[in-house]
C-alpha cells in the first residue's frame, strides 16, 4: 500500500439489504474501505458474513430483487458505480473490473466453446474483430499456463478439468486489462496442488498486468500467503483491517484473534483441542443493537451490548472496530 | 455412417417399449377384450357354427400365437379390415391422419409458441405484477376443462347466441377459406387450454436457466442482456423445451384429437379411434396403439438427435 | 459434507413442516382456496350422508323450468332439478379424485422408492420400462382397454387412471430417493446393518412426503378433469351423475338456447379445479425450502 497514491476503489458506508418474505436481511451494514492500485487485499470471514455480497456489489451484480444497495457509494477512480446507468456499468464489468467465481465447474456456459465465450468478452470491451480476438484469447490461455491453447480454445467447458476451467476464467478476466480483479473464493473448489498453482498464476499475472486484487476467501492461510492486507468481516461489518504482518502477528479484534487460533498448525506446545469461538453467528434478521460479536466475545462489557463500535485507526496499519481491542 | 449406426442402435433399444405397449394393450383389449362370436352369429347359433367362427377369429389359438400375429401385423403395417366398416385399416388411417394433422397442428404450434413468449415475458419481469398477471392467467387456463373450452368457444363463435361467425361442426378442407373457417374454433380451444400448462412449464425452465452461475459470469463480464438471453438462457433451455414439444406430439395426435374430433364430428384419426372404442373395433384399435408406440420410439430417437445438436455434452453413444 | 450435517438432517425436516405451516398461514390465496375446497368437501360429504341432493334422479318438475326458489338452477330437458344434480356430481368428483389420488400416489411412492433405492439394477430397469410403456399408451384407449378387460366394471375408469397417473409420482420419488440415499444418515443405516426394507420405509419414504402431498393434489385435479371428459365421452361414470354427464346432456340444450345445465356443471367444475390448483401451488410454495 502506498498512502500517497489515490485509492483505485473507494467504498463508503455501503449498506446492502435483501428483502424476503420473512423480513429484510441486512447483508452488509455500512462498510467502508479503500483499495490501492496494484495491491492484493484479502476479504476474510465465515460464510454469510457478507464478503461475497461485497464483491458482487462492486460490480453491481447483487441479484435484484431481492437484493438492493440501500446506501453508500462505490467509487472507481472517482466515478460512483452505484450512480451510473446499467449500460455504463456493463463497460466496466470485464473491462476495468473483472470478477472470477468459486465454481469453475458451472461458471462457464456449457453449450459454447471457451474460445467463443472469451471472444465475446474481448469484442465487447476492446475494439477487435472476432478473428483478432481469437488470437488474443489464445495468447491469454497461453499466459495462464494452458498447454496447447490453440486446440483447447475450441473445446467446451466439460472437456476441461476444474483447475483448467478456473485458468480459463482467469484468462477471460484478464483479457481486457482490468485495473481490479475481484476473486471470489477462486481456489476453494480445487484440490490443494491446483489451488497453489492457480494462486501463483494470479500473483504472476498481477505483476504483469499491474492490477489490484480483492481476494474473497474464508481461508486465512491463503490470505497469509498472497495478500498485502487483510480485511476481516463479521456479520455484515468490517471488524478489522490491517497490513498482513500486523493482522497475523498482532490481531486486535477478539474475533480475528479467535479465527487465527482456530487454524490447525504445528505449534511449539501441543494442544489438546483446537480453540474454537463459542456461540453462533447472530441471524441477519435479528441483529443485536450493540456489537454483533458481543455474545461470543471473551472481553465483552456492558458498553459492547448497548453501543456498536465503529472502525477506528490504531497504531500502524491496523484499524479495528472494538472498544476493548486485544493489546 | 456413425450416425446411421447410432440411429439403428437407438431403434433397437425402442423394441422393449414397443413390446411392452403392444403386449399390455393386446392383453387388455383383445385377449380379455369383448368376444365377437355372438355379435356375428346371433343368439341361436349351433355349437358347430360357434366353433367355426371362433376358429375364424383365431380365438382357439394359443395366446402367444395370437400376440405374434399382432406383432407381424405391426411389422408389415397390415392390420386387416375394420370390423365395423370393412374398410382396410391402413387405408382408413392414411385417409384420416392427414385430417387430424391439419386440425391439430395450428393449435399445437401456437399453443407452444405463445407460451414460450409469455414465459419469457414473465421470467424477465420475475415477481413483478406482469409476472403475477401472466401466471394468474395460467392457473385460470389450467383450471378450465378442455371440454368446457370447446363448448364455450363454440357458443361464443359459432352459434346464434354469440358471434355466429364459424360453422358449428364438421370439416371441409377443399379451399383455404373453408379450412380456416373450420379449424379456427378447435384451434382457439386447444390454444386456450394448453397455454396455461405450457406457460408455467416454460417459465420454470427459463427462470432456472436465468439463475445459473454462467449467467452471472456473463453479466460480470459486461455481456449485454440480449446476447446473454440468446447464448446463456435460450440455448440452455432448449433441452427441456425440445423434450416437452416432441414427446407431446404422439399424445396430441391421438388423445388431443379424440375429444375435438368426436365433438365437432371431424373425420380424423381421433374420431376413428373413438368410434373403434365404442364399437370394439379391434383391428383399428390394434393399429392405433401400435402406431402410437412406434411414434414414441421415433420421438425418443428424434429428441436424442436434437439434444446432440443443441448440447455438446451429449454424444452419440 | 461432514458429520454434523448428517445429524442435523431430521431437525431440518421438522423445521420444513413448521415453516411450511407458518408460510401457508400467511398465503391469502392459499387460505381462500383451502376454504373453497373444504366447502366442496362438506357438500360431497352431505350427499354421501344423504343430507341433500337425494332427489337428483327424480323427475320433479317439467322441461327447462327457469331459476326459481324451488329450483335454484332450474330443471333440465326432462324436468330434473339441476341444482341437486350439480351437488350430487360433487360427490362423484370427490370420490374419483380421492380414490385415484390416494392410490396412484401410494403406488407411485412405493414403486418409485424401490426403483430409486435399487437404481442401476435390473429392478430399476424394469420399473423404468413399465413407466415408459404406460406413458406411451394413449390415455383414452387405455381407459377403454381396461373397461373391456374388466367387462364394464364401474371402477374401470379408476383403475385406468391409477395405472397411468402413478408414473409421474414414481419418477419424482425415484429421483428424490436417488438423491436421499447418498446422504450420510442413509449410508450410516446401511453400514450398521439396517435391512433395506426398513431403510426404505423408515428413513427414505418419510422424507419424500412433501413431494407426495403436492403430487397428490395435482393427481386429484387431473382425476377430476379426466373423469368429466371420460364421462362426457361415455367412457366414465355410467350409473350415477357427473358434471361430465351433465355437460353431455346439455349439448342438446345449448343449441336450443338453454344454458343452465352447462353453466352449473362448468362453473362448479371450474371453481373446484381452480381452488385445488391454487391450494396445490400454495402448498408447493410453503414446502419449498428454497423460497424463504
CATH value at residue A58: 3.40.50.300
Predicted confidence band of residue A270 (pLDDT cuts 50, 70, 90): low
At B116, phi and psi to the nearest 5? -60, -45
Work out how many domains chain B is built from and give that number: 1
What integer is the mean pLDDT of C92-121?
93
pLDDT tens digits, one per residue of A200-214 = 888 888 888 889 999
Distance from CA of C13 to the nearest CA of A (A): 19
Q: Is the model more confident about C93 or about A309?
A: C93
Q: B228 burial class (0-12, 13-18, 19+ CB within 10 angstroms)? A: buried
Q: Is residue A141 part of a domain?
A: yes
Contact at CB, C149 and B251, closer than 8 angstroms:
no
Nearest residue in C to B35, CA atom: C148
Residue A320 contacts residue A240 (beta carbons within 8 Å) = yes
DSSP for residue A283: P
Q: How many CB pairs under 8 A join A and B?
A: 79
Q: Is residue B5 part of a domain?
A: no
pLDDT tens digits, one per residue of A79-120 = 888 888 888 889 989 889 999 988 878 899 999 999 999 999
Q: A12 burial class (0-12, 13-18, 19+ CB within 10 angstroms)? A: middle
Peptide bond into B86 cis (omega under 30): no
Residue C215 contacts residue C105 (beta carbons within 8 Å) = yes
Contacts of B234 (CB under 8 A, 6+ apart): none
What integer is the mean pLDDT of C62-75?
77
Q: State how far the Cα of A145 lies from the Cα of A163, in Å rounded to an integer.
A: 11
Contact at CB, A108 and B220, closer than 8 angstroms:
no
Contact at CB, B21 and C133, closer than 8 angstroms:
yes
Q: Name residue, grid cell 400454495.
A: C282
Element (H, E) at A42: strand A40-44
Chain A positions in Cβ-Cβ contact with residue C23 (cut-off 8 Å): 21
Chain B positions in Cβ-Cβ contact with residue C146 (cut-off 8 Å): 28
Q: Is residue B48 part of a domain?
A: no
| A147 shares contact with chain B (CB less than 8 Å) | no
Please, what are the domains in chain C? Answer: 2-287 (1.10.3720.10)
Contact at CB, B274 and C129, closer than 8 angstroms:
no
Contacts of B300 (CB under 8 A, 6+ apart): B10, B14, B17
Q: Is residue A27 part of a domain?
A: yes
pLDDT tens digits, one per residue of B236-283 = 998 889 888 988 888 887 777 899 999 999 999 999 999 988 888 888
Predicted confidence band of residue A122 (pLDDT cuts 50, 70, 90): very high
pLDDT (0 to 100) of residue C292: 43
pLDDT (0 to 100) of residue C3: 36
CATH of the domain at B193: 1.10.3720.10
Domain with A121, as residue range(s), is: 9-234
Contact at CB, C234 and B259, closer than 8 angstroms:
no
Work out how many domains chain A is built from and give that number: 1
Nearest residue in C to A66, CA atom: C292
Q: Is residue A84 part of a domain?
A: yes
Locate A158 and state its grid cell.
466439460
What's the Cα-to-Cα distance from C263 to each of C230, C250, C268, rounded to whole Å? 19, 9, 8
What's the Cα-to-Cα distance from B131 to each of A309, B139, B199, B241, C284, rounded to whole Å? 43, 12, 11, 20, 18
Q: Is residue B7 part of a domain?
A: no
Q: Is residue B37 part of a domain?
A: no
Nearest residue in C to A20, CA atom: C292
Q: Is residue A89 part of a domain?
A: yes
Q: State how far the Cα of C33 lies from the Cα of B143, in Å rounded to an integer.
A: 13
Contact at CB, B145 and C228, closer than 8 angstroms:
yes
What integer is the mean pLDDT of A111-138?
92
Nearest residue in A to C285, CA atom: A21
Domain with B260, as residue range(s), is: 91-271
Query: Where on the phi/psi map is residue C226: left (φ > 0), alpha (ψ -120 to 50), or beta?
Result: alpha
**How high is the ipTM of this complex?**
0.86
Which neighbouring-strand residues pair with A216? Answer: A43, A184
For β-strands A180-184 and A97-100, DSSP reports them as parallel
Q: Is residue B220 part of a domain?
A: yes
Is pLDDT of B147 > 60? Answer: yes
| C269 shares contact with chain B (CB less than 8 Å) | yes
pLDDT (0 to 100) of residue B163: 83
What's the Cα-to-Cα distance from C129 to each of B244, C74, C122, C124, C125, rounded to whole Å? 19, 51, 10, 8, 6
Interface-testing mutation among B222, B309, B310, with chain A (most A C-beta atoms within 10 A): B222
Which alpha helices (DSSP H) does chain B contain, by range?
2-13, 15-25, 37-41, 47-57, 63-76, 89-124, 129-143, 146-158, 176-210, 213-220, 225-227, 235-251, 257-264, 269-279, 282-310
Q: In terms of Cα–Cα distance, which of B13, B59, B90 is closest to B286? A: B90
Distance from CA of C292 to the nearest CA of A (A): 6
Amino acid at each position: 500500500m502506498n498512502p500517497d497514491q489515490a485509492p483505485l476503489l473507494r467504498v463508503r458506508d455501503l449498506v446492502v439489504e435483501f428483502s424476503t418474505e420473512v423480513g429484510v436481511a441486512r447483508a452488509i451494514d455500512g462498510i467502508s474501505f479503500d483499495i490501492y492500485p496494484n495491491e492484493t487485499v484479502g476479504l476474510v470471514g465465515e460464510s454469510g458474513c457478507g464478503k461475497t455480497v461485497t464483491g458482487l456489489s462492486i460490480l453491481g451484480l447483487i441479484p435484484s430483487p431481492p437484493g438492493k444497495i440501500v446506501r453508500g457509494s462505490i467509487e472507481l477512480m472517482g466515478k460512483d458505480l452505484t450512480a451510473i446507468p446499467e449500460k455504463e456499468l456493463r463497460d466496466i464489468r470485464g473491462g476495468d473490473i473483472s470478477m472470477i467465481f468459486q465454481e469453475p465447474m458451472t461458471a462457464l456456459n456449457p453449450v459454447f466453446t471457451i474460445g467463443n465465450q472469451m471472444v465475446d468478452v474481448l469484442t465487447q470491451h476492446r475494439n477487435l474483430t472476432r478473428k483478432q480476438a481469437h488470437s488474443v484469447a489464445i495468447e491469454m490461455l497461453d499466459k495462464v499456463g494452458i498447454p496447447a491453447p490453440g486446440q483447447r480454445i475450441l473445446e467446451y467447458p466439460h472437456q476441461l478439468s476444474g483447475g483448467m476451467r478456473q485458468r480459463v476464467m482467469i484468462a477471460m478476466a484478464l483479457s481486457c486489462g482490468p485495473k481490479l480483479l475481484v476473486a471470489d473464493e477462486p481456489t476453494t473448489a480445487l484440490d490443494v496442488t491446483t489451488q497453489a498453482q492457480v494462486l501463483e498464476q494470479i500473483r504472476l499475472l498481477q505483476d504483469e498486468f499491474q492490477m489490484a486484487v480483492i481476494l474473497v476467501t474464508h481461508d486465512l492461510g491463503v490470505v497469509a500467503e498472497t495478500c498485502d492486507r487483510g480485511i476481516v468481516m463479521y456479520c455484515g461489518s468490517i471488524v478489522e483491517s490491517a497490513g498482513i504482518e500486523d493482522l497475523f502477528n498482532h490481531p486486535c479484534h477478539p474475533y480475528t484473534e479467535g479465527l487465527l487460533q482456530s487454524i490447525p498448525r504445528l505449534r511449539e506446545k501441543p494442544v489438546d483441542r483446537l480453540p474454537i469461538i463459542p456461540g453462533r453467528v447472530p441471524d441477519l434478521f435479528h441483529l443485536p443493537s450493540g456489537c454483533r460479536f458481543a455474545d461470543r466475545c471473551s472481553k465483552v462489557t456492558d458498553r459492547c451490548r448497548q453501543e456498536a463500535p465503529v472502525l477506528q485507526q490504531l497504531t500502524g496499519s491496523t484499524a479495528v472496530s472494538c472498544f476493548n481491542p486485544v493489546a | 455412417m456413425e450416425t446411421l449406426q447410432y440411429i439403428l442402435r437407438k431403434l433397437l433399444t425402442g423394441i422393449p417399449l414397443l413390446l411392452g405397449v403392444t403386449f399390455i394393450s393386446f392383453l387388455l383389449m383383445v385377449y380379455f377384450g369383448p368376444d365377437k362370436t355372438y355379435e356375428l352369429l346371433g343368439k341361436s347359433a349351433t355349437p358347430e357354427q360357434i366353433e367355426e367362427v371362433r376358429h375364424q377369429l383365431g380365438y382357439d389359438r394359443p395366446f402367444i400365437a395370437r400376440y405374434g400375429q399382432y406383432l407381424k401385423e405391426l411389422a408389415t403395417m397390415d392390420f386387416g379390415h375394420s370390423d365395423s366398416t370393412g374398410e382396410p385399416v391402413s387405408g382408413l388411417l392414411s385417409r384420416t391422419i392427414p385430417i387430424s394433422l391439419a386440425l391439430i397442428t395450428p393449435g399445437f404450434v401456437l399453443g407452444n409458441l405463445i407460451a414460450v413468449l409469455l414465459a419469457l415475458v414473465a421470467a424477465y419481469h420475475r415477481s413483478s405484477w406482469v409476472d403475477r398477471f401472466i401466471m394468474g392467467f395460467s392457473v385460470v387456463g389450467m383450471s378450465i376443462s378442455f371440454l368446457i373450452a370447446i363448448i364455450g368457444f363454440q357458443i361464443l363463435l359459432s352459434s346464434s347466441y354469440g358471434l355466429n361467425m364459424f360453422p358449428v361442426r364438421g370439416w371441409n378442407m377443399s379451399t383455404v377459406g373453408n379450412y380456416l373457417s373450420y379449424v379456427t374454433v378447435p384451434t382457439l380451444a386447444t390454444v386456450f387450454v394448453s397455454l396455461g400448462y405450457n406457460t408455467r412449464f416454460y417459465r420454470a425452465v427459463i427462470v432456472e436457466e436465468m439463475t445459473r452461475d454462467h449467467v452471472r459470469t456473463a453479466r460480470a463480464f459486461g455481456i449485454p442482456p440480449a446476447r446473454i438471453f440468446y447464448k446463456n438462457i435460450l440455448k440452455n433451455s432448449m433441452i427441456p423445451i425440445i423434450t416437452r414439444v416432441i414427446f407431446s406430439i404422439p399424445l396430441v395426435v391421438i388423445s388431443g384429437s379424440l375429444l375435438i374430433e368426436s365433438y365437432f364430428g371431424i373425420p380424423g384419426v381421433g374420431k376413428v379411434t373413438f368410434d373403434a372404442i365404442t364399437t370394439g373395433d379391434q383391428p383399428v384399435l390394434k393399429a392405433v396403439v401400435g402406431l402410437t408406440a412406434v411414434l414414441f420410439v421415433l420421438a425418443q430417437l428424434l429428441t436424442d438427435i436434437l439434444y446432440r445438436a443443441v448440447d455438446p455434452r451429449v454424444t452419440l453413444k | 459434507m461432514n458429520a454434523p450435517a448428517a445429524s442435523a438432517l431430521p431437525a431440518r425436516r421438522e423445521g420444513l413442516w413448521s415453516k411450511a405451516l407458518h408460510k401457508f398461514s400467511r398465503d391469502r390465496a392459499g387460505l381462500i382456496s383451502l376454504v373453497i375446497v373444504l366447502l366442496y368437501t362438506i357438500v360431497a360429504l352431505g350427499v354421501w350422508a344423504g343430507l341433500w341432493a337425494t332427489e337428483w334422479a327424480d323427475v320433479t318438475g317439467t322441461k327447462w323450468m327457469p331459476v326459481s326458489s324451488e329450483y335454484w338452477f332450474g330443471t333440465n330437458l326432462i324436468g330434473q332439478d339441476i341444482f341437486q344434480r350439480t351437488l350430487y356430481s360433487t360427490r362423484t368428483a370427490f370420490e374419483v379424485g380421492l380414490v385415484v389420488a390416494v392410490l396412484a400416489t401410494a403406488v407411485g411412492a412405493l414403486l418409485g422408492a424401490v426403483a430409486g433405492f435399487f437404481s442401476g439394477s435390473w429392478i430399476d430397469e424394469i420399473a423404468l420400462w413399465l413407466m415408459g410403456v404406460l406413458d406411451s399408451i394413449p390415455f383414452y384407449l387405455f381407459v377403454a382397454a381396461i373397461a373391456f378387460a374388466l367387462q364394464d366394471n364401474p371402477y374401470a375408469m379408476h383403475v385406468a387412471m391409477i395405472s397411468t397417473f402413478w408414473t409421474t409420482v414414481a419418477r419424482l420419488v425415484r429421483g428424490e430417493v436417488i438423491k436421499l440415499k447418498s446422504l450420510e444418515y442413509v449410508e450410516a443405516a446401511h453400514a450398521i446393518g439396517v435391512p433395506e426394507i426398513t431403510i426404505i420405509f423408515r428413513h427414505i419414504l418419510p422424507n419424500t412426503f412433501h413431494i407426495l402431498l403436492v403430487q397428490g393434489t395435482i393427481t386429484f385435479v387431473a382425476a377430476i378433469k379426466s373423469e368429466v371428459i371420460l364421462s362426457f365421452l361415455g367412457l366414465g361414470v355410467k350409473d350415477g351423475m357427473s358434471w361430465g354427464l351433465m355437460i353431455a346432456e346439455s349439448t342438446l340444450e345449448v343449441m336450443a338456447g338453454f344454458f343452465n345445465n352447462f353453466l352449473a356443471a362448468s362453473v362448479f367444475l371450474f371453481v373446484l379445479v381452480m381452488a385445488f390448483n391454487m391450494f396445490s401451488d400454495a402448498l408447493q410454495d410453503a414446502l419449498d425450502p428454497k423460497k424463504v
